[in-house]
Amino acid sequence: MKILDQLPLAKARESLRFGERYITVLPNQFLVWVSIHPPGAPRAGVDAPILPALLDTGNNFDFSIRERHLREWAGVDPERLRDMGELTINRQVVRRWDARVWLHPNIPGKIE
């Protein structure tokens, strides 16, 4: 199954609105759409928010998200997820949680 098809690479700084929020996409970044669920979810729930994420080919970790975005954008309380300890990213200590991240298909050639 093809999930990402002809995903456009941002050529200039771009502000994209989703709901009442905005995300800034910088040049040479890919924007993808995801939803986040507690572990054990067999598939993406229809009621789960779909939120934008930047596909960072230089990220050596599975998925990174700020705690505020996890709560406010994804509607997930990290206290309900299994704590997986801390690690350091760019000299900043961050907490890790166990969750399922679902990647949603894009519209070929479109950033939305």
Is the per-residue pLDDT at 5 higher than 80?
no
Q: Which residue bears the tokens 């519209």?
A: 107
Q: Evaluate whether 16 touches 35 at the Cβ level (below 8 Å).
A: no
| Listed ranges 27-31, 36-40, 56-60, 82-86; the one with the highest mean pLDDT | 82-86
Q: Which residue bears the tokens 């679902």?
A: 102
User: What's this model's pTM, rounded to 2 decimal places?
Assistant: 0.77
Any idea where the domains of the chain sit in the sequence?
A: 14-104
pLDDT band, very low/low/confident/very high, at 63 (cuts 50, 70, 90):
confident
Is the per-residue pLDDT at 31 higher than 70?
yes
